[in-house]
C-alpha cells in the first residue's frame, strides 16, 4: 500500500492494472478514517482486484462559515487503516493538484440537491459533484463505494453517474454505528463529553421512527412529529431538519407509499450531525 499525491501517477498505476485485466474499486473519503470507511474498503476489496482510497478534504464543498480548517486530518493514521483493510493506494492530493490555477469548471445538479442538506449548505453538493466527477475521471473505477449515512449524497452521485452516462457501479453500504448507536462520523471528534452523551438523541430518534414504520404508521407528519419531540427534549440539541423524502427524487412525501428515506440533521452544540433510515430496510 502506498500514498500517491499526483494525478498522473494514479493514472499510470490504473493503466498498468487495466493492462493486467484487473478490476478497480474506488472509495472516496475526506480522510480521518474510521470503521465506517473501513467497511467501504472491505466491500471494495471483496468485490475488486484493486482498491483506490481517495483521502482529500475537498474545500469546494465547505461553505464560508463551515469547518474546513478544523476538519480532522491524519494521513499516517489513515494509511494504517487502509492497509489493514486491503486498500492498494491512497490518493491524497493537495488542493492545488485537484484545483489548479485558473480552475473554473464545475458539475452541478438541481432537484435532488435542493432539499435536506442542500437547504442549509447551498454550495455543498456543487463541490461534491465536481470532486466526485474528477475522481471518477482520474481513477476510472468499475465500482465506487459510499456510505448510506450520507443518504442524499448517495442519491446525488447515483443520479450524477446515470445522467452523465458514467460506466461505474455506485454501491451504497450500511451505516456503521458506535456500540451505543451513534453513527460513525469524523465530526464526532468535535463533541465534548456532555455533547457526546447528548448526541445519542439522533440514533434514538431514528430507532423511534423505525419502530413506528415497523408497526405500520404511514403518515409522515406523525412520524416526523414524534422524532422531533424526542430530539427537542435534549437541551444541547437543535434540529436542522427531520424529513421523509422519496428515495429517488429527495422530495418530501406525506405518505409512506413508496421507497423513502427518513433523514435528520441535528446540531449538538455547534457540531452538525446527520443520520437516517431507509424504509425499505425496516
Q: CB count, 10 Å around CB of 244?
A: 24
Among the listed residues 182, 130, 146, the one whose alpha carbon sits nearest the alpha carbon of residue 25: 146
Pairing relationship of beta strands 237-246 and 169-173 according to DSSP bridges: unpaired
Out of 34, 37, 124, 230, the active site residue is 37
**Helical spans, DSSP H, in 67-219:** 75-84, 95-98, 117-120, 124-139, 151-163, 193-198, 200-214
Burial of 252 from C-beta contacts in 10 A (0-12 / 13-18 / 19+): middle
Cα 178 from Cα 17, distance rounded (Å): 36
Among the listed residues 244, 246, 238, 245, the one whose alpha carbon sits nearest the alpha carbon of residue 266: 238
**What is the grid cell recorded at 167?**
460506466
- Residue appearing with cell numbers 405518505: 255
**What is the grid cell recorded at 207?**
430507532
> For every residue of 161-205, which 3-state class applies, written as one string?
HHHCCCCCEEEEECCCECCCCCECCHHHHHCCHHHHHHCHHHHHH
Residue 159 bears catalytic tag = no
Beta carbons within 8 Å of 112's beta carbon, 6+ residues apart: 125, 152, 155, 156, 159, 249, 250
Among the listed residues 179, 254, 182, the one whose alpha carbon sits nearest the alpha carbon of residue 217: 254
**Could you give the residue numbers annotated as active site?**
37
Amino acid at each position: 500500500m502506498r500514498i500517491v499525491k499526483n494525478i498522473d501517477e494514479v493514472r499510470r498505476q490504473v493503466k498498468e492494472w487495466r493492462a493486467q485485466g484487473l478490476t478497480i474499486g474506488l472509495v472516496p473519503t475526506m480522510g480521518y478514517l474510521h470503521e465506517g470507511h473501513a467497511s467501504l474498503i472491505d466491500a471494495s476489496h471483496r468485490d475488486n482486484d484493486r482498491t483506490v482510497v481517495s483521502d482529500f478534504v475537498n474545500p469546494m464543498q465547505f461553505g464560508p462559515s463551515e469547518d474546513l480548517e478544523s476538519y480532522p486530518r491524519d494521513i499516517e493514521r489513515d494509511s494504517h487503516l487502509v492497509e489493514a483493510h486491503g486498500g492498494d493506494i491512497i490518493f491524497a492530493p493537495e488542493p492545488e493538484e485537484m484545483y489548479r490555477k485558473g480552475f473554473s469548471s464545475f458539475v452541478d445538479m438541481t432537484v435532488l440537491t435542493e432539499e435536506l442538506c442542500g437547504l442549509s449548505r447551498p454550495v455543498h453538493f456543487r463541490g461534491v459533484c465536481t470532486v466526485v466527477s474528477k475522481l471518477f475521471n482520474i481513477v476510472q473505477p468499475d465500482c465506487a463505494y459510499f456510505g448510506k449515512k450520507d443518504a442524499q449524497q448517495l442519491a446525488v452521485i447515483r443520479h450524477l453517474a446515470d445522467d452523465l452516462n458514467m460506466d461505474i457501479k455506485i454501491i451504497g453500504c450500511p451505516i456503521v454505528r458506535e456500540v451505543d448507536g451513534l453513527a460513525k462520523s469524523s465530526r464526532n471528534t468535535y463533541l465534548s463529553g456532555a455533547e457526546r452523551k447528548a448526541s445519542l438523541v439522533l440514533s434514538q430518534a431514528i430507532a423511534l421512527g423505525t419502530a413506528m414504520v415497523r408497526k405500520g404508521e404511514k403518515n409522515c407528519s406523525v412520524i416526523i412529529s414524534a422524532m422531533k419531540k424526542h430530539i427537542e427534549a435534549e437541551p444541547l440539541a437543535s434540529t436542522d431538519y427531520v424529513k421523509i423524502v422519496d428515495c429517488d427524487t429527495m422530495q418530501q412525501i406525506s405518505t409512506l407509499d413508496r421507497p423513502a428515506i427518513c433523514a435528520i440533521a441535528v446540531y449538538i452544540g455547534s457540531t452538525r450531525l446527520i443520520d437516517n433510515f431507509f424504509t425499505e430496510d425496516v
